[in-house]
Amino acid sequence: MHIDVLEKKWSQLALGGIGVLVLMILFSAVFQGMHAPSHVETIDSAKLHLSEEFAEDNLGLSIDEQGRHWVRMVAGRYNFFPGFIEVPAQTQITFRWVSMDVLHGVHIPMTNMSTMIVPGYVAEVTTVFPHAGEYPVLCNEYCGMGHDYMWSNIRVVPKHEWQAQHPEQGAQS
């Protein structure tokens, strides 16, 4: 089969360029732990209030004995619960999101906190907020007529301020 010399070179260059991007993505996944949130775990969305983990008084931020920061949130038409949470900046936070009704999605603008919230599954995503500030928490998947109004708030507190407010936690990161 006859292929023009320049076309062959272009095909090889394109393959090479694509290869570079794929290798960079694989490198960041394997060696830097940059992944899409992919924790496969089921839960009965119709019975969240009966679960220990997502009972109302267990929602929001909690820190376990190893110092790991967990935030448990429930999405349901048309809010995220709890509606206001505070977390420290520059600290690894693991979010666990569940839906009590339909499909939702959530992202915090200007951060990498983004995930779908599929009823029947727990969506777990771990991220770090580099910059302190007040951020909205927005629903980004159509969930009905109130979708436009579905949002909550998160305050990311500067790390030194957090440590001053929570001396019992010691030096965590």
Partner 1 sequence: MNLAAEKKLTLWHFWVAFGAFALASVMGGYQVIERSGLFPFLESKALYFGSVSTHGVLMAYVLTTFFIMGFSYYVASTSLKQPVWNLKFAWAGFAVALIGVIMAAIPLLTGNASVLFTFYPPLKAHPLFYLGATLLVVGSWFWVASMLIMAARWKKAHPGEILPLAMFATTGNAILWLWTSAGVAAEVLFQILPWALGWVDTIDPGLARTLFAWTLHPIVYVWLIPAYTAFYVFVPKLAGGYLFSDEMARVVFVLLVVFSLPIGFHHLYMDPQQGYGWKILHSIGTFIVTLPTFITAFTVIASLEIAGRLNGGKGLFGWITALPWQNPMVLAILLSLMMLIFGGFGGLINASYAMNAMVHNTAWISGHFHLIFAGTTVIMYFGIAYYFWPVLTGKALYSNKLAVIQLWTWFAGISVMTTPWHVLGLLGQPRRISQATYNNVLSLSWEPYELIMIFGGLIMLGSAGLLIYILYQSQRASTKPYDGDISYAEPIHPVTEMPAILNDFKLWNYVIAAFMLIAFGYPILQFFLMPTFGSLGFGV
Partner 2 sequence: METPLSEQERAEILNSKPVGTWALLLVVGGGMLVAWLLIYFGIFVPRGLVQ
d(CA 163, CA 31): 29
Binding piece for partner 1, criterion CB under 8 A, among 58-66, 82-90, 103-111, 156-164: 103-111
Residue 144's binding partner among partner 2, partner 1, none (Cβ under 5 to 8 angstroms by kind) is: partner 1
Binding piece for partner 2, criterion CB under 8 A, among 41-49, 58-66, 110-118, 147-155: 110-118
Backbone angles phi, psi at 43, to 5 degrees: -160, 150
| Parallel, antiparallel or unpaired: strands 69-76 and 79-81 | antiparallel
Residue 164's binding partner among partner 1, partner 2, none (Cβ under 5 to 8 angstroms by kind) is: none
Q: Residue 75: name the closest of 94, 95, 89, 50 by CA.
A: 95
DSSP classification of residue 121? B
Binder of partner 2 out of 1, 33, 50, 64 (CB under 8 A): 33
| Bridge partner list, 104 | 117
Minimum CB distance to partner 1, residue 109 (Å): 2
Binder of partner 2 out of 8, 12, 15, 17 (CB under 8 A): 17
